Amino acid sequence: MVKFTFDAAFERNVGWLTEAEQLALRGMRIALAGMGGVGGVHMITLARLGIGAFNTADFDRFDIPNFNRQYGCNVNTLGLVKGEVMEEMALAVNPELRIRRFDDGVTDENLEQFLDGVDLFVDGFDFNVIEMRRKTYRRCRELGIPVVCAGPMGMSVSLLAFDPKGMSFDEYFGMEGASEYEQAIRFMTGLVPKPLPASYLSDPMRLNLVAKTATSVGAACQLCAGAAAITALKFLLRRGEIKPVPYAFQYDVFSNRLAVTKVRGGLNGARWRRKMARMVPAAIERMRAIPLPPETFVPEGYLDEVLHAARWAPSRNNEQPWRFEKLGPDELRIHARRTTAGGLYQYRNGEPNLLGIGGLLEYLRIAASAHGRRMAWRIESDADPLLIRVGFTADPKMEPDPLCPSLGLRHVDRTRYRTRALTAGEREALEAALGETLRVVWLPGPRDRERFARLSLRAGTIRLRAPEMMPVHRRRIEWTLPISPDRTPAKALGLDPVLTRAYRWALDSEDRTRLFNQVGGAAAMALETDYLPVLASGAVFAIRYSQESDSPRTTRALLETGVRLQNFWLTATRLGLALQPLMDVLTFAHYGQENAPFTADARLQAKGRDLARQTRALFGAGDFVFMGRIGEPHWRDAYPRSVRKPVAELLTVERQVASTAGASPAVA
């Protein structure tokens, strides 16, 4: 058996360190408050540097929410004391370590012992622990102990160093006299004077200092451990330049940015005092308006996990007009609205909703494959709501469908794409996804896209001017947050912020809407949401039945068509392509072709008939079921999108399905 010896174990550090420095580190003691997200990985990283002794403090035990980031958390350590687990892990790295544990955490009673004989303190306190953090920093300063603080902010590391002869914690953060909420905001601001991660925060409900909800990424904790350990090394060996506060360092890997900020005078300095006076009240008010995130999803069995994935199936304006009734461990019933009361989009006896329900069935099938299950379904009732019985059977040979990763990534992308043409391989994969009964008509060239863009502009103008759509837009658009569990966020519509505010104002009354339309508001919106994006695409496409005889006449046939359409969309996502349905052209051309009275506005009726003629001239005759644009998206930090209701809200009885009625202008 190979015998552990300190010199052999840490010899690879020598070179960047001298042998004498490695020996010095062996005799040093570091205090670590917190053994969780950053504290645990701090301890292991410092132990591998050859630090010889630790004082550790943490009162907590490992739990399920710790898995994503905490070094010591795994299925074997659930429920165990964090300090005890991390001591065992550290001793497995260096069995000669001298460790004093404080399993009550850092308290007023043990602070002196915690800092006794310590050469450096590394801050691993939980973010919301402000008062004890202040006391610990204050006592470190009195004892001449330097402090290193590295925080995982987004996908970045924020690093602060406190020299006992330099600026203090309270001087830098200006905590004196601040309320609890203001203290949290000041701590965040001091760590991140330049808020680099804000641009890619996808779900603001998950980060709320007022509600004390937080989001984290384990990789950022690893960044913190490296930054803190090297800064600790510089303090302990007195080698290398240290820039203590008021300097703040932040390296954001996601946004490829490094920020070094000198917060002159701390947050109570002249410039920052004015900034904080404006920012703090606004931040508190904004966070109080943010709804709490949904409760943590805890499945009772694989069926709940299938529903958790399948709920991401698209529906018009994120209505999710379906509910699930569990009939047993391997069986469920779908209650789905096949028509939507008063909806301009529910033509041909609710065909759009039926296609969407078919898409849900495809989501269920793919999600079940990840759990080794095959799926079969049958229609129990063709009435409204539609009842579909779904069963799952175990198959030990079943592999996860290649489209599984696309279930959550698929979304409506209303941004502008790269205009490169789709490759032959991409077109072949998409066409194969449609099966034998559907055929895609491609309009790939700039001239074709411009012709379709004019059709889309006319259809968008009808949508925005139709008085029947005003209450729908008012009810179904989320104006404030970039995400919504049951509506479409305004920020996802691709509108200029000024137009967004103007349209929200216009929807307050019919008089305002008329004025908005008279001054060209609707035309400007249609230009921005329906015309320009089509030009900035790789291709426009329309999907039709291969033969007239393939056109479905039954509910089941329409559901099966929806299955193939969803497979097409998910395949596009797997190929890295963005897609936006452009169903307004299809919808209003249908009404124009049938000369159906879809609106009380006679001028819009005439525009619908013109649109039908122009659509036939572009595509020819045929039974079309889907239209859209597709292309390679540009890179971006984050995108606003519709999210979904939690599984618990979708597991309801039939009587609640009827409450989902209401027209909808978009697809989520």
The DSSP-derived string for 237-267 is HT-S----TTEEEEEETTTTEEEEEE-TTGG
Q: pLDDT tens digit string along 560-603? A: 999 999 999 999 999 999 999 999 999 999 999 988 888 889 99
* R_g of the chain computed on alpha carbons: 30
Dihedral angle of Cα 595, 600, 603, 606, to the nearest 10 degrees:
0
Confidence of residue 197 (pLDDT cuts 50, 70, 90): low
Mean pLDDT of the chain: 91
Closest CA to 371 of 406, 418, 328, 330: 330
Q: pLDDT tens digit string along 410-420? A: 999 999 999 99
Confidence of residue 209 (pLDDT cuts 50, 70, 90): low
**CB 277: neighbour CB atoms within 10 A?**
9
Q: How far apart are CA 563 and CA 359, in angstroms?
A: 5
Residue 44 has pLDDT above 80, yes or no: yes
Confidence of residue 16 (pLDDT cuts 50, 70, 90): very high
**CB 38: neighbour CB atoms within 10 A?**
31
Predicted local confidence at residue 664, as pLDDT:
36
Closest CA to 582 of 635, 633, 543: 543
Where do we find the tokens 């915690």?
A: 114
Contact status, residue 364 vs residue 390, Cβ threshold 8 Å: yes
Contact status, residue 538 vs residue 631, Cβ threshold 8 Å: yes
Confidence of residue 622 (pLDDT cuts 50, 70, 90): confident
Which residue type sits at 348? Answer: R
Residue 538 has pLDDT above 70, yes or no: yes
The encoded tokens of residue 59 equal 């009162």
> Where are the domains positioned within the chain?
6-167+216-264, 413-645
In angstroms, what CA-CA distances link 472 with 357, 463, 475, 487? 21, 11, 5, 11
Q: pLDDT tens digit string along 285-332? A: 877 777 777 788 889 999 999 999 999 999 987 889 999 999 999 999
Mean local confidence (pLDDT), 612-620 = 91
Whether residue 329 has a cis bond before it, omega within 30° of 0: no
* CATH fold group of domain 6-167+216-264: Rossmann fold (3.40.50)
Mean local confidence (pLDDT), 382-407 = 96
Q: Which of the pair, 623 or 633, is modelled with greater confidence?
A: 633
Contact status, residue 242 vs residue 143, Cβ threshold 8 Å: no
Minimum mean pLDDT range among 65-74, 400-409, 473-482, 539-548: 473-482
Predicted local confidence at residue 583, as pLDDT:
93
Which stretches within 77-129 are classed as H helix?
82-93, 111-114
Residue 384 has pLDDT above 80, yes or no: yes
Do β-strands 624-631 and 578-581 pair in parallel, antiparallel, or remain unpaired?
antiparallel
Confidence of residue 654 (pLDDT cuts 50, 70, 90): very low
Q: In the CATH scheme, what architecture does the domain 413-645 have?
A: 3-Layer(aba) Sandwich (3.40)
Predicted local confidence at residue 641, as pLDDT:
82
* Region of residue 119 (left: phi > 0; alpha: psi -120 to 50; beta: else): alpha
Mean local confidence (pLDDT), 477-484 = 84
Contact status, residue 561 vs residue 438, Cβ threshold 8 Å: yes
Q: How far apart are CA 523 and CA 520, in angstroms?
A: 5
Confidence of residue 668 (pLDDT cuts 50, 70, 90): very low
Cα-Cα end-to-end distance for the chain: 61
**CB 239: neighbour CB atoms within 10 A?**
12
Closest CA to 23 of 54, 53, 55, 50: 50
The encoded tokens of residue 383 equal 């009435």
The encoded tokens of residue 501 equal 């505010």
Q: What angle do CA 271, 275, 280 make, to 5 degrees?
A: 145
Tell me the three state secondary structure of residue 202. Answer: coil
Confidence of residue 179 (pLDDT cuts 50, 70, 90): confident
Predicted local confidence at residue 656, as pLDDT:
43
| Side-chain-side CA neighbours of residue 187 (13 Å) | 23
Confidence of residue 146 (pLDDT cuts 50, 70, 90): very high
What's the 3-state SS for 393-410?
EECCCCCCCCCCCHHHHC
Confidence of residue 340 (pLDDT cuts 50, 70, 90): low
In angstroms, what CA-CA distances link 201 with 157, 196, 258, 500, 529? 15, 10, 18, 21, 24
Predicted local confidence at residue 659, as pLDDT:
42
